[in-house]
């Protein structure tokens, strides 16, 4: 099971420094068809905007786990810290940790070169081994990770494929960063992942579909008088 944790290390080693730490956002045309999911953890709630229009296969795969309640009782178990670029820089990873009894069949790979959903800060992306092996593990970017986007011009098949991004955080980036800051184990993990495993994984209490969050008021908008 532990080898499944080698999900994103190779491409991240060559990833370019992040351009910003601002969460990604879909264009107006795709937002209307998006689906929202709230992941309740012991560190707080993370609300996701999933892009059903631009990344239909990967979104449907994630929702299958949500609707079957197979994320309930799992955890965020990994925190990757990159020591270059603007800080914080890295990602967190969670999900079923490859547990066979929780896994559905793998989903076909949707490269970012086709979906246009890029690995920006706040983006959720499907973890995998080879393209087309992703199931119920996922990562949330703490910073921009362009090295995980598909590069059709690359000679390397992994870099050509990239990873399948399918949504972004709309509420709870403070929770994402709190999980990223969780103490790491000095002994857990294998190979390049040693030192990236969270000492006490952050439990995922539940993951459920929710209504779209209310938009935040404009900064110069005054509240109504009582």
**Could you report the per-residue pLDDT of 99-120, keeping only the tens digit for each?**
999 999 999 999 999 999 999 9
Rounded Cα–Cα distance for residues 93 and 138 (Å): 6
Which pLDDT band, with edges at 50, 70 and 90, does 56 fall under? very high
Residue 101 pLDDT: 97
Q: What is the mean pLDDT of the chain?
A: 87
**Of 157 and 24, which is predicted with more confidence?**
157
Which ranges constitute the DSSP H helices of the chain?
A: 9-12, 28-31, 56-67, 112-115, 157-161, 173-180
Taking residue 102's Cβ as centre, other Cβ atoms within 10 Å add up to 18
Which pLDDT band, with edges at 50, 70 and 90, does 4 fall under? very low
Buried b (16+ CB within 10 A) or exposed e, 86-95: eebbbbbbbb
What is the C-alpha R_g of the chain?
17
**Of 32 and 102, which is predicted with more confidence?**
102
On whether residue 169 sits in a domain, the answer given is yes
Rounded Cα–Cα distance for residues 13 and 50 (Å): 27
145: DSSP letter: -
Q: Note whether 199 and 187 are within 8 A (CB).
A: no
Residue 220 pLDDT: 53
On whether residue 2 sits in a domain, the answer given is no
On whether residue 220 sits in a domain, the answer given is no
On whether residue 224 sits in a domain, the answer given is no
Structural domain range at position 149: 35-101+112-210
On whether residue 116 sits in a domain, the answer given is yes
On whether residue 22 sits in a domain, the answer given is no
Rounded Cα–Cα distance for residues 213 and 154 (Å): 39
**Of 151 and 20, which is predicted with more confidence?**
151
Query: Number of folded domains in the chain?
Result: 1
Q: Note whether 13 and 138 are within 8 A (CB).
A: no
For 174, list phi and psi in degrees, rounded to 5. Answer: -65, -35
| Minimum mean pLDDT range among 25-29, 30-34, 114-118, 181-185 | 25-29
On whether residue 217 sits in a domain, the answer given is no
Rounded Cα–Cα distance for residues 152 and 113 (Å): 7
Q: Is the pLDDT of residue 29 over 90?
A: no
Q: Is the pLDDT of residue 51 over 50?
A: yes
Q: Is the pLDDT of residue 215 over 90?
A: no
Percent of the chain with pLDDT over 70: 81
Q: Note whether 128 and 139 are within 8 A (CB).
A: no
Contacts of 80 by beta carbon, 8 Å cutoff, 6+ apart:
8, 9, 12, 90, 91, 92, 93, 196
Q: Is the pLDDT of residue 142 over 90?
A: yes
**Of 113 and 34, which is predicted with more confidence?**
113
Residue 222 pLDDT: 52
Residue 164 belongs to domain with CATH number: 2.40.100.10
- Tokens standing for residue 91: 């990602």
- Tokens standing for residue 96: 């079923």
On whether residue 18 sits in a domain, the answer given is no
């Amino acid at each position: 099971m532990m080898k499944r944790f080698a999900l994103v290390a190779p491409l991240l080693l060559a990833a370019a420094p992040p351009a910003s730490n601002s969460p990604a956002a879909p264009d107006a045309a795709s937002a209307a068809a998006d689906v929202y999911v709230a992941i309740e953890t012991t560190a707080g709630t993370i609300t996701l905007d999933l892009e059903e229009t631009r990344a239909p296969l990967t979104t449907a795969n994630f929702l299958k786990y949500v609707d079957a309640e197979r994320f309930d009782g799992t955890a965020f178990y990994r925190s990757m810290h990159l020591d270059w670029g603007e800080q914080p820089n890295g990602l967190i990873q969670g999900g079923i940790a490859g547990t066979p009894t929780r896994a559905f069949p793998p989903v076909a790979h949707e490269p970012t070169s086709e979906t246009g959903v890029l690995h920006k800060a706040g983006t959720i992306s499907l973890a995998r081994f080879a393209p087309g092996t992703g199931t119920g593990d996922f990562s949330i970017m703490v910073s921009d990770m362009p090295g995980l986007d598909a590069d059709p011009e690359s000679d390397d098949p992994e870099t050509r494929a990239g990873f399948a991004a399918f949504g972004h955080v709309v509420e709870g980036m403070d929770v994402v960063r709190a999980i990223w800051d969780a103490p790491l184990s000095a002994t857990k993990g294998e190979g390049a992942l040693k030192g990236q495993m969270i000492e006490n994984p952050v439990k995922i209490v539940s993951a459920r579909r929710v209504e779209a969050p209310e938009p935040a008021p404009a900064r110069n908008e005054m509240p109504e008088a009582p």
